[in-house]
């Protein structure tokens, strides 16, 4: 009997060691979740400073087995003095591979809300490997995401708005705005990424960076798994994957986290699932190249961004980049007017528009908020996906409120069909007084001769609703119809008789109210 008691544990150990297996035919050997036991020792790998991968010690203190592997996890206690001295498990360690007896068992993905942050949750590697099989992974038990989003190169207003959007729409808890850190990073540009290496999941690069720092869990050729939890949980995705230089760690008010500098784009994140992210090295995501030029009198600035080509990301984050570009150029929050010209290019699609808006409180916010609504019209249209390859935006800011009222108009008494007709409108501008503005229009050649009335009608504050057809037949008609709701600049010029009517819009760098009319004779 005593012999059996000694031999039986030895047999069990041999069985546990032998049931590590390979998956996907790729020779990936792992320690199976079914063999994990409370009290086992484990080793984790992560980057605490720079780009050097370091090991840290752990102990398994609980194994939670559910019906499905994607709902299962195990709990570890950090026994490593290095991690303890930093305040415990840091946000940015998500994805740190955890090894048992030399074989990968999972990825550190969450930490419990304890005072010392030494207890963490590990996502089983089997659950993460399902991502490579492109299976729909069910969400695990809610333990709270540990992603910290770092925003580099953004001012406080844009950051505050991004902060709210990340929290409300994507459920992320910690968003920080920081100056760029390059200490030690320049000489670390070319980094060979391995399990435990620091990585960045990026939405924006260029004159601003929006990145979340995590850890690479597993690499199989050009494929990788990381984080152990979702980033934005969008399923199919297109994010930048970058190498990262870890500058330092902070204990923080809520939990400790890493601060690092993105080095270079090294791949693409293509899956954003409940048990982690997956993608490929050496492949770049689809991007939208954005150029924003802002001018106020003699002050000019130009900003460039690469934004992942996803509709929600462009609609959610591009307006904040524009707000920040205006803030940095005019260096104030105040009333004013703005002329906005933009062009969106994508495949055979090209949309170009010009708008003029005024605000008596904050012109930068009015411009960015209205552009968000315009981007929603474009990128959320019901006709086709608008895969924008480039967006070019020119913004001219005027400190004056360029709002006014139409007083009268004047046109030649006799006008000819098919020829350009020049007239004028007399307007009163806010705190600038009375001035004349030139108006041009051309009547169709088939217009009936005789007397007609020319009506000049300001669009700002007219109270007129845009007449919408129920089902615009084309994308172009839809865009024209929807965007006209944001056109408050200049005047609508209408020529009418009892039998017919002709209408055109005349752009003016003012928002005008009121109307005036004049009689003409058409030859």
Specify the pLDDT at position 17. Answer: 31
- Tens digit of pLDDT at every position of the chain (523 positions): 332 223 223 323 233 333 344 444 456 889 999 999 999 999 999 999 999 999 999 999 999 999 889 889 999 999 999 999 888 898 889 999 999 999 999 999 987 766 678 999 999 999 999 999 754 444 443 444 457 788 888 888 998 898 888 888 887 767 777 776 655 555 566 788 999 999 999 999 999 999 999 999 999 999 999 999 999 999 999 999 999 999 887 776 667 778 888 999 999 999 999 999 999 999 999 999 999 999 999 999 999 999 999 999 999 999 999 999 999 999 999 999 999 999 999 888 899 999 999 999 999 999 999 999 999 999 999 898 889 999 999 999 999 999 999 999 999 999 999 999 999 999 999 989 999 999 999 999 999 899 999 999 998 864 444 455 456 889 999 999 899 889 899 999 999 998 889 999 999 999 999 999 999 999 9
Dist. CA 175–CA 148, nearest whole Å: 6
Question: Is 327 within 8 Å of 155 (Cβ atoms)?
Answer: yes
Dist. CA 132–CA 138, nearest whole Å: 14
**Backbone phi, then psi, for 315, in 5-degree steps?**
-70, -40
Nearby residues of 460 by Cβ (< 8 Å), 6 or more positions away: 358, 403, 488, 489, 511, 512, 513
Cα 74 → chain centroid: 33
Dihedral, CA atoms, 209, 213, 219, 224, nearest 10 degrees?
-60
Paired tokens of 49: 């400073």
Dist. CA 223–CA 132, nearest whole Å: 9
Long-range pairs, 504-510, Cβ under 8 A, ≥24: 504/441, 505/459, 506/439, 506/440, 506/441, 507/354, 507/356, 508/356, 508/437, 509/337, 509/339, 509/356, 509/398, 509/402, 510/337, 510/356, 510/402, 510/403, 510/404, 510/427, 510/429, 510/437
> Which CATH code is given to the segment(s) 24-132?
2.40.10.10
Tokens 């592997």 — which residue?
69
**Backbone phi, then psi, for 14, in 5-degree steps?**
-65, -40
> Pick from 132, 131, 105, 109: which is nearest to 120 by CA?
109
Order of strands, sheet of 403-410, starting from the edge strand that comes earlier in the sequence:
433-442, 420-429, 403-410, 511-513
Specify the pLDDT at position 255. Answer: 72
Specify the pLDDT at position 367. Answer: 97
DSSP designation for 435: E
Specify the pLDDT at position 172. Answer: 74
Fold identical between 24-132 and 288-398?
Answer: no
Which residues in 414-446 are b (16+ Cβ under 10 Å) and which e?
Answer: ebeeeeebebebbbebbeeeeeebebebebeee
Dist. CA 406–CA 374, nearest whole Å: 28
Dist. CA 362–CA 337, nearest whole Å: 9
- Please state, as a whole number, how many other Cβ atoms lie within 10 Å of the Cβ of residue 268: 19
Sketch the domain layout of the chain as residue ranges: 24-132, 148-285, 288-398, 403-522
The distance in angstroms from the start CA to the end CA of the chain is 120
Tokens 């969450």 — which residue?
110
DSSP designation for 6: H
Fold of 288-398: Dna Ligase; domain 1 (3.30.1490)
DSSP H or E run through 133: none
DSSP H or E run through 18: helix 2-18
Paired tokens of 383: 């006709």
Q: What is the DSSP string of 208-268?
A: SEEEEEEEEEEEETTEEEE-SS-SS--EEEEEEEEEEEEEEEE--SSS-EEEEEEEEEEEE
Specify the pLDDT at position 410. Answer: 97
- Using CA atoms, how far residue 326 sits from 61, 334, 368, 396, 414, in Å, is 53, 11, 9, 9, 46
Paired tokens of 510: 């003012």
Q: What is the 3-state secondary structure (H, E, C) of 352-405?
A: EEEEEEEECCCHHHHHHHHHHHHHHHHHCCCCCCCCCCEEEEEEEEECCCCEEE
């Amino acid at each position: 009997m005593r012999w059996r008691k000694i031999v039986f544990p030895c047999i069990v150990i041999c069985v546990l060691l032998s049931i590590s297996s390979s998956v996907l035919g790729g020779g990936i050997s792992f320690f199976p979740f079914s063999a994990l036991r409370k009290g086992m020792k484990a080793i984790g790998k992560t980057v605490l400073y720079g780009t050097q991968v370091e090991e840290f010690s752990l102990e398994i203190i609980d194994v939670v087995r559910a019906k499905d592997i994607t709902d299962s996890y195990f709990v570890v206690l950090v026994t490593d003095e290095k991690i303890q001295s930093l305040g415990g498990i840091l946000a940015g360690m998500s994805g740190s591979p955890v090894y048992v007896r030399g074989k990968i068992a999972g990825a550190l993905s969450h930490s419990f809300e304890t005072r010392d942050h030494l207890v963490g949750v590990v996502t089983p590697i089997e659950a993460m490997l399902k991502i490579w099989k492109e299976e729909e992974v069910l969400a695990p038990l809610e333990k709270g995401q540990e992603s910290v989003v770092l925003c580099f190169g953004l001012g406080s207003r844009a950051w505050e708005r991004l902060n709210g959007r990340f929290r409300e729409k994507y459920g992320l808890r910690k968003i920080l705005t920081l100056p760029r850190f390059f200490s030690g990073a320049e000489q670390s540009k070319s980094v060979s990424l391995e399990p435990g290496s620091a990585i960045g999941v990026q939405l924006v690069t260029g004159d601003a960076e929006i990145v979340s720092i995590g850890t690479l869990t597993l690499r199989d050729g050009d494929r990788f798994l990381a984080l152990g939890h979702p980033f934005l949980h969008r399923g199919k995705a297109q994010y930048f994957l970058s190498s990262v230089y870890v500058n330092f760690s902070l204990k923080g008010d809520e939990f400790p986290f890493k601060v690092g500098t993105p080095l270079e784009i090294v791949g693409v994140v293509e899956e954003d699932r409940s048990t982690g992210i997956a993608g490929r090295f050496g492949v770049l995501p689809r991007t939208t190249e954005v150029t924003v030029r802002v001018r106020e009198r003699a002050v000019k600035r130009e900003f460039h961004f690469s934004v992942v080509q996803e509709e929600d990301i462009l609609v959610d984050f591009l307006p904040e980049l524009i707000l920040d570009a205006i803030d940095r150029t005019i260096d104030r929050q105040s009333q004013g007017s703005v002329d906005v010209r933009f062009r969106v290019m994508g495949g055979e699609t090209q949309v170009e528009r010009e708008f003029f808006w005024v605000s008596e409180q904050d012109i930068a916010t009015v411009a960015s908020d209205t552009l968000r609504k315009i981007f929603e019209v474009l990128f959320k249209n019901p006709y086709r996906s608008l895969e924008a390859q480039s967006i070019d935006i020119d913004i001219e800011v005027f400190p004056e409120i360029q709002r006014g009222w139409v007083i009268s108009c004047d046109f030649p008494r006799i006008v000819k069909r098919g020829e350009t007709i020049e007239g004028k409108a007399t307007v009163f501008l806010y705190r600038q007084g009375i001035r004349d503005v030139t108006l041009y229009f051309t009547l169709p050649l088939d217009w009936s001769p005789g007397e007609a009335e020319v009506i000049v009608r300001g669009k700002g504050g007219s109270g007129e609703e845009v007449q919408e057809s129920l089902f615009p037949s084309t994308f172009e008609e839809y865009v024209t119809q929807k965007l006209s709701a944001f056109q408050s600049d200049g005047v609508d010029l209408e020529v009418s008789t009892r039998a017919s009517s002709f209408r055109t819009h005349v752009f003016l760098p003012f928002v005008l109210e009121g109307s005036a009319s004049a009689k003409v004779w058409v030859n």
